Amino acid sequence: MTMDSFLSLLDGVRRTSRGWQARCPAHGDKSPSLSTREAEDGKILVYCFAGCTRGEICAALRIQTRDLFPSHDPEQVRATQQERQRRKATEQQARERLGHWADLHREYESVIASAYLGEIGGLDEERLDAFIDAVGKAHNALRKEMGEEAYAEWSVGLGTRNGEIKGS
């Protein structure tokens, strides 16, 4: 069984930094308590934080425990390796895009800052409006480049330092 086919059996699946999280099928799970990931050797690792065993989870999904272990069928092994390589390439592309967007944002900030060298508090109303307009245009350009969903996720931490508003 591939990781993708295993995930398709679960409800409430979401990606985490180490794998996936989902609602455990072995108990009345209202919030995700099942953690799963694929080991380097292709094993599908599962852990229920509510205490369900691997056997109970498999029984609830109507699969065998052995389905969580890599196949020795050469065709299946090759398909699993290709899927893993595709997933890693996709994740690398996403990381590179985030880096590109961060670079683009820094570039916009430096252009805006060079146009308004003094303190913002010292700007007259007309220059302050121009500054705010320039910041807005920079963010609109980023939003267009990134797409609404990615921009919303990426921009959550802007204007904060360690979760606190800058300057506070």
Under DSSP, the state recorded for 155 is G
**pLDDT(164) > 60:** no
**Centroid of chain to Cα 147:** 15
- The number of beta carbons lying within 10 Å of the beta carbon of residue 136 is 10
User: Residue 17: which pLDDT band, with cuts at 50, 70 and 90?
Assistant: confident
**Model confidence over 45-99: pLDDT tens digits?**
999 999 999 999 999 999 999 889 877 677 877 777 788 788 888 888 877 777 7
What are φ and ψ of residue 58, in 5° steps?
-60, -45
Which pLDDT does position 163 carry in this prediction?
41
- The pair of three-digit structure tokens given for residue 54, joined into one six-digit string: 């691997």
Which pLDDT does position 134 carry in this prediction?
77
User: Residue 13: which pLDDT band, with cuts at 50, 70 and 90?
Assistant: very high
User: How distant, in Å, are the alpha carbons of 39, 106, 141 from that of 54?
Assistant: 15, 47, 48
Which pLDDT does position 75 carry in this prediction?
80
**Model confidence over 124-161: pLDDT tens digits?**
777 777 777 877 787 787 778 777 877 777 676 665 44
**Model confidence over 87-133: pLDDT tens digits?**
888 888 877 777 777 777 777 666 666 655 555 556 677 777 777 78
